[in-house]
Structure 1
């Protein structure tokens, strides 16, 4: 378990030290965040979806995970909308913070360490990137328009303006027809995609450094606590109930579904929010807190169900 978490904390610490020392400059977090969103992450998604095409039945365990994710995300969205009175973009980030799991750089090593198999987390990763990500980015894009007509135009054209969604669409299409990128191009895309996770973690660490100008969003401890509880406790518990008592899932499949639900909030929450002008303080705090708490929840899940 430590082997899965240590690289995350180490790269986040590197970003914090770099930001504290000022060696990368005052605009580093914005520049690095844009690099991840517009360059590295599309390459990573394109590489993943073309090499592991979506196909076949996802299974009852994945269905339980998906339903739990949607339910908890909806609770986070509604709380941000009607309790905390946040904007549409902030509501979307709150929903993502409550249910979007860190399936890539943390989920894969955890599943391999506990189950010895990453097939379940691969399906989850594909669902998140090809289904949830377009919904999230589409909503964030719509939130930037003040008029209804403008919102519809932005929604219809968002795939043309978002490199992440373009990469998802291209990857799904190429994977469905079993067309792979030429080796030289594919290797370059894979190499660039490998920079997405470490760059996102360094950007997250940079964001932990207080701004010298004092600007930025105020801390939101109540909202952060709610999002962390939804993500780290309610989502795995709901997934357990759905998988075991609704779908009748047992054994390794049950462990895989609940273990995946107990993963912390993905750092993409911070990256997407900053890319669409949402202050990253809330997302950053949820990511850090849920990642720390998940060391305990993942261990408990593995001990009880393993």
Structure 2
């Protein structure tokens, strides 16, 4: 596939994303209103989309354990590299290291990867296994480090800390996104018949997920603004790793070490090329660690990704 065809497939992505940015810059819609659009997308539209797609999918094809295992190994290697480098070059504690690993390795699946995959492949179902991998493993580990890695961790009541950790992990697993996916898998496995009128309704709502998510992201970035001036070396390193090194590493390991073929090689490379997740900023705010750094990485990696997508699409 040539660059022009790749660009053609990404025109809807750029259009929805760019419209949001223009609306925010011209004050047609206030940037803070992006929260309304993201809540609709995350809490309703994307769960509707994924339930319908996963319910009607071939789960054996969807859960390609060879490909998913290769991605897991790639993500683990990336986590170790970022963690060791951060430990050697900075004086930050466990929380700072965990946050940088999250910024460099975890990807924005719900708000970015889902609409991009819908536009490129007409189906975002391949994202689901990686989404579960992130939520059930990487996010849980980051939450554990945040809870136990603070300066007051040693003096904290162990039972109280355990309860906070349990609530945080449950909250990450109890999102509408994950619940919808798990319900769809159960319904698929036990052959529960979902009425066609319900599936049609879910499809109708789910079709709005991709454009609304991109429009909301454009609103957010348009209101925040993206400036190169003032970007720190740490931000540059994290963005470069997230947008360039991690997808290249994923491609190389998946293809040359594990022998992953198409289309999963393209899926995994593009997933790895997605920007840092928005919940990185949420975690930073919650635990009061590197808030400005996290906000900057989320915004700038999102902007860089939209520029690199045609190249990654052709390469993968």
TM-score range, shorter chain: 0.7 to 0.9
Which of 9, 12, 15 is residue 7 of structure 1 equivalent to? 12
* SS of aligned partner of 1:209: helix
What's the offset of the Cα at 1:17?
A: 1.5
What's the offset of the Cα at 1:58?
A: 1.7
Query: In structure 2, what is the equivalent of residue 208 of structure 1?
Result: 221
Does residue 129 of the first structure (1) align with residue 131 of the second (2)? yes
Does residue 173 of the first structure (1) align with residue 186 of the second (2)? yes
Deviations 1:257-294 (A, max 9, x none): 15741456446823x44666676442121122023123
Alignment check: 8 A CA contact 2:107 2:271 kept: no
What's the offset of the Cα at 1:49?
A: 1.9
Alignment check: 8 A CA contact 2:21 2:219 kept: yes
Query: In structure 1, what is the equivalent of residue 305 of structure 2?
Result: 290
For the structure 1 residues 134 and 273, does the alpha-carbon distance in structure 2 shift closer, same or farther, using more than 3 Å as the test?
A: same
What's the offset of the Cα at 1:211?
A: 5.1
Q: RMSD across aligned C-alpha pairs, in angstroms?
A: 3.9
Query: In structure 1, what is the equivalent of residue 265 of structure 2?
Result: 257
Residue correspondence of structure 1 range 79-94 to structure 2 within 5 A: 85=92, 86=96, 91-94=101-104
Where structure 1 has 5 or more consecutive residues not aligned to the other structure, the ranges are: 113-117, 213-217
Does residue 95 of the first structure (1) align with residue 111 of the second (2)? no
Measured in 2, the distance between the counterparts of 1:98 and 1:74 equals: 20
Deviations 1:143-176 (A, max 9, x none): 5898522333314532674222221221222222
Query: In structure 1, what is the equivalent of residue 48 of structure 2?
Result: 43
Measured in 2, the distance between the counterparts of 1:7 and 1:238 equals: 28
Does residue 71 of the first structure (1) align with residue 72 of the second (2)? no
* SS of aligned partner of 2:60: coil
Residue correspondence of structure 1 range 52-71 to structure 2 within 5 A: 52-55=57-60, 58=64, 60-71=66-77
Which of 201, 204, 214 is residue 191 of structure 1 equivalent to? 204
Which of 35, 47, 69 is residue 30 of structure 1 equivalent to? 35
What's the offset of the Cα at 1:44?
A: 2.1
Alignment check: 8 A CA contact 1:70 1:99 kept: no
Measured in 2, the distance between the counterparts of 1:241 and 1:264 equals: 12
Which of 238, 241, 248 is residue 230 of structure 1 equivalent to? 241
TM-score by length of 1: 0.72
Alignment check: 8 A CA contact 1:101 1:260 kept: no
TM-score by length of 2: 0.70
For the structure 1 residues 77 and 30, does the alpha-carbon distance in structure 2 shift closer, same or farther, using more than 3 Å as the test?
A: farther
